[in-house]
Amino acid sequence: MTEIVPVILSGGSGTRLWPMSRPEKPKQMLALTASDTMLQLTAARAHGDAFAAPIVVANAAHADAVEEQLGAIGAQPSALILEPAGRNTAPAIALAALSAGADQAMLVMPSDHVIADRDAFHAAIHAALPLVEQGWLITFGITPDAPETGYGYIKVGDELAPGIHRVARFVEKPKRDVAEAMIASGDHAWNGGIFLFRADAYLGALERFAPAILAAARSACAGARREGVRVYPDAAAFAASPSDSIDYAVMEKADRVAVVPVTMGWSDVGSWDALHAISDRDDRDNVVSGDVVMLDSRNCLVRSDGARVAMVGVEDLIVVASGNDILILPRGRSQDVKLLLDAMKN
């Protein structure tokens, strides 16, 4: 068995953590939960004897930042594949699979998630390896702790091996009552977007279920320009790929798809509220970072990357100062960042 190749997907440019997260410095480039960035934490999570150097798929605009951040922790990628345009995860992973050896196991990870319990993660990975060798596509099922409507769910089916189950069904972002029923059932997990499979297994599934994606990826790789570890796929060829997620394009259609349910302190840090929830808090439940002077305040998340924030007598407030922007909203309302961004566009 060769080493597992971590495949780190760094293409995102989410806005839910605005104003810290911006197109030029998206969430994965930020140090939100620790002194290391989310990208660095992701790379460090799949580092060591069992792992080869990572393949990173990123937006070309972030090439320097990715190399700098990974270099700083001694996790230089074997290939840094720079997407000329975003085509969602299925094509991005196809580029990585074509760069890996056909028989290599690929551990596909978003670059902007937190996993607090690395040992549990590694145990789940190793439990899955025998099925991976048999060509199964593995997804990791996050033990859910709330009826979230923003996640995909996996119905956990029959056990295939200790701790590994056939996927009975994928359920995309459910309505609230459906989510509550799935939580109550006890046999559903969140789809955390972390996958493990051999490169040839993924490419084979693509060939069967999404041949246009595979063809575009092959063509983009064939025409790629290389500079050291950097790979610039052919832009026109890649642009011809359908844009689709690995879930829709492959996982929901393929036959031999398994899930490893795992409780590992996972969070996608999908909002400022989520960051407050997973962060270490002081004795007044505040989470503070940057130049902040705070008196008689409770249950706040306050972050500044420049300006000095002085607060007194405030409760349950989220304050984020970044660059020329200051975001202020009550705890529980951080999904409304989107409303503010819409309002600012108009």
| Chain residues that interact with its own copies, rule: CB under 8 A | 19, 293, 295-296, 304, 306-314, 317, 319, 321, 324-330, 333, 336-337, 339-340, 343-344
DSSP annotation string for 107-167: EEEESS-EES-HHHHHHHHHHHHHHHHTT-EEEEEEPP-S--SSS-EEEEEEEEETTEEEE
Closest distance to its own copies from the beta carbon of 341 (Å): 8
5 vs 337, beta carbon nearer its own copies: 337
CA distance 19 to 79: 30
Backbone angles phi, psi at 155, to 5 degrees: -85, 120
Instruction: Please name every residue paired with 10 in a beta bridge, in sequence order, or none if there are none.
Output: 58
Closest distance to its own copies from the beta carbon of 181 (Å): 30
Structure tokens at 298: 């409770």
Closest distance to its own copies from the beta carbon of 338 (Å): 10
CA distance 319 to 99: 42
Cα 67–Cα 72–Cα 75 angle in degrees, nearest 5: 70
168 vs 340, beta carbon nearer its own copies: 340
Peptide bond between residue 211 and the one before it cis (omega within 30 degrees of 0)? no
Give the helix/strand (H/E) hosting 67. helix 63-72
Closest distance to its own copies from the beta carbon of 300 (Å): 9
116 vs 310, beta carbon nearer its own copies: 310
184 vs 312, beta carbon nearer its own copies: 312
Closest distance to its own copies from the beta carbon of 272 (Å): 12
219 vs 335, beta carbon nearer its own copies: 335
Closest distance to its own copies from the beta carbon of 302 (Å): 9
94 vs 287, beta carbon nearer its own copies: 287
